[in-house]
Structure 1
Amino acid sequence: MGTWDVGPFDNDTAADFSGTLDEAAMDARAGIIRDTLTRVIDTVGYLEAPDSEETVAAATLIAAHCPEGEPTDPVYGPEEQLPDLTSLRELALQALDRVMTEPSELMELWDESDGGPWRAQIRNLRNVLTPQMPGEQLSLI
């Protein structure tokens, strides 16, 4: 497994996932993302790191379509256009919760190193994905 940083596309698995999305027909891309999230949510036992890495990348793609979302990685993220993915926000939140729940290989790997920046990145991603009530503002603290 090649990982070079804590960003959602800073590993070989996520970069390959981007390639899979680029090769898929436009009308199949949302389904690939949905299936990725559902597979992780449905994992009862040990969650392997590659599934988690794809989930974080998928959640990041969904967050990019949200009001507070940021553009995805121009180098390792998908090059092809994606449909509006905001309808998958709740699924992405559930999948991220599973990634952060033991037993999770990715969580273990980050705990072995300085996982603080990775956990902060996941918290930020969850904040963007969580729908805000009208008039509610995100806390910047």
Structure 2
Amino acid sequence: MGTWDTGHFDNDTAADFAADLDDATEAGRTELVREALLRATAAEDCLDSDEAVVAVAAAALVAEQCPGGPPVETVYGPDEPLPRFPEELRVLALRALDRVTADKSELRDLWIDADGEDGEWHRGIARLRSTLTAAISTRL
């Protein structure tokens, strides 16, 4: 995996995911995001880093649409406008982030080795989790 920074789209696989989103129809974009999140949550054994980085990128796009959500400001993210995602994707995005940061996650292990457990990548994930959790809590 070619990674050049800690941002949610700062790696080859997430940038490719953004290009796939740009190539898809509007409805297809929602399904690509949903599928990325579902693949991560469905992983029973070790979660592959490629699946994990796509799940993180998808979660970032969902979190961006939450009240107070952090904007995805990168040249490597999608260029085409995204549809308004269904609110149930917020719960799925949170579950995907939980899986990415759990044991048996190759991406988590790589970032712990590179940056420790409280490095910038982990702080970025924590910000996404916080945004999603707040958005979900206000709907209950």
- Flag whether TM exceeds 0.5 (same fold): yes
Instruction: Report deviation, 1:117.
Output: 1.1
* CA displacement 1:6-36 (0-9 Å, x = unmatched): 1101101110000000000111110111011
> Is the CA contact (8 Å cut-off) linking 1:63 and 1:86 kept in structure 2?
no
One-letter code of the match for 1:2?
G
Aligned position for 2:91: 90
Instruction: Report deviation, 1:73.
Output: 2.7
Tell me if 1:133 matches 2:138.
yes
Runs of 4+ in structure 1 displaced over 6 angstroms?
none
Q: TM-score, normalised by structure 1?
A: 0.90
Aligned residues: CA RMSD: 1.3
SS in 2 for 1:5: coil
Where does structure 1 lack aligned partners over 5 or more consecutive residues?
Answer: 135-141
Aligned position for 1:32: 32
> Is the CA contact (8 Å cut-off) linking 1:66 and 1:86 kept in structure 2?
no
Kindly name which structure, 1 or 2, has the bigger radius of gyration based on alpha carbons: 1
One-letter code of the match for 1:133?
T
Q: Which protein is richer in helix relative to its size?
A: 2
Percent identity over the alignment is: 48
Aligned position for 2:111: 110
SS in 2 for 1:133: helix
Q: TM-score, normalised by structure 2?
A: 0.91
One-letter code of the match for 1:33?
V
Give me the whole-angstrom Cα distance separating, in 2, the residues matched to 1:46 and 1:100.
Answer: 11
